């Protein structure tokens, strides 16, 4: 990877030119978006991070209109310089990190059906848009994502390294909490798109630990049930500033792995 130019990902043949076909959304799609949006937005003023609440205004999402990526991209261009890249669903790790290393956030464009409102095997565009995109207006947060992806690309052929870095991604971008004015607030997208986990993650049921790079890298996660622990940052700058530590702890743990 080291000799590749930073923007190699855009000429990769696996990356298909895909666009959101807005006209193809059906009446049912608009209904599903509205139900999900209205159901979750009422929970967020007391639960979501300020960055998210400001972000969702800045990006102008509403219940009546499925997110339009062209509009999102115009707004992000003026905000943090990021953009949405439409992908077919799950893509190879190197493309995923390669895109984020070039300030492109991957999103699918399909929306769950009415009968799947509460359970999905794979994230749809409600998760990708409603939960992730507002946070892309926060500069230290996206800078963190760009640099974290850079580390992943340097270790892309090492499965263990990617697993350790995925734990960081998981316990921050997907399931991260932040302390604001002495209270726990959510910025992780996996929580923000789930009404059940929004309530649970802030309750006394799970454990809440201060953000700790080494501890996170030693913490496996699961995808099929709520986490039993969450990690709490003090600020998005703290995330960005932890990049050198992530790199150092990763080197440490990889060296340990080769000794054993």
What 8-state DSSP symbol labels residue 258?
Answer: H
x/- map, 175-204, Fe ion, by CB under 5 A = --------------x---------------
Q: Find all residues with CB under 8 Å of 197, minimum gap 6, and list them.
A: 190, 191, 226
Which residue's Cβ lies closest to Fe ion? 189
Which residue lies nearer to Fe ion by CB, 189 or 202?
A: 189
Identify whether the C-beta of residue 32 lies closer than 8 Å to the C-beta of residue 54.
no
**What value, to the nearest 5°, has the Cα angle with vertex 171 and ends 72 and 229?**
135
In angstroms, what is the minimal distance from the CB of 36 to Fe ion? 15
Identify whether the C-beta of residue 134 lies closer than 8 Å to the C-beta of residue 55.
yes
Calpha distance 127→129 (Å, rounded): 6
Under rule CB under 5 A, how many of the chain's residues touch Fe ion? 1
Which residue lies nearer to Fe ion by CB, 132 or 185?
A: 132
Calpha distance 106→235 (Å, rounded): 24
In angstroms, what is the minimal distance from the CB of 101 to Fe ion? 17
Which residue lies nearer to Fe ion by CB, 145 or 249?
A: 145
In angstroms, what is the minimal distance from the CB of 96 to Fe ion? 11
Calpha distance 53→60 (Å, rounded): 11
x/- map, 105-134, Fe ion, by CB under 5 A = ------------------------------
For Fe ion, the binding residues (CB under 5 A) are 189
């Amino acid at each position: 990877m080291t000799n590749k130019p930073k923007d190699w990902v855009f000429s990769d043949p696996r990356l298909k030119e895909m666009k959101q076909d807005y006209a193809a959304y059906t009446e049912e799609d608009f209904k599903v978006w509205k139900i999900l949006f209205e159901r979750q937005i009422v929970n967020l003023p007391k639960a979501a991070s300020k960055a998210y609440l400001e972000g969702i205004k800045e990006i102008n999402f509403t219940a009546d209109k499925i997110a339009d990526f062209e509009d999102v991209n115009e707004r992000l261009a003026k905000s943090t310089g990021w953009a949405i890249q439409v992908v077919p669903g799950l893509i190879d790790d190197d493309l995923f990190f390669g895109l984020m290393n070039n300030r492109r956030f991957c999103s699918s464009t399909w929306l769950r059906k009415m009968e799947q409102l509460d359970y999905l095997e794979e994230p749809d565009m409600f998760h990708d848009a409603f939960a992730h995109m507002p946070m892309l207006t926060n500069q230290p947060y996206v800078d963190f994502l760009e640099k974290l992806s850079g580390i992943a690309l340097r270790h892309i052929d090492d499965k263990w390294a990617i697993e350790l870095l995925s734990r960081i991604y998981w316990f921050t971008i997907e399931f991260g909490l932040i302390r604001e004015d002495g209270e726990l607030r959510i910025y992780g997208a996996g929580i923000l798109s789930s009404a059940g986990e929004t309530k649970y993650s802030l309750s006394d049921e799970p454990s809440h630990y201060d953000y700790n790079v080494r501890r996170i890298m030693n913490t496996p996660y699961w995808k099929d049930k709520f986490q039993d622990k969450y990690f709490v940052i003090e600020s998005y700058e703290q995330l960005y500033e932890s990049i050198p530590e992530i790199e150092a702890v990763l080197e440490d743990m990889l060296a340990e792995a080769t000794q054993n």
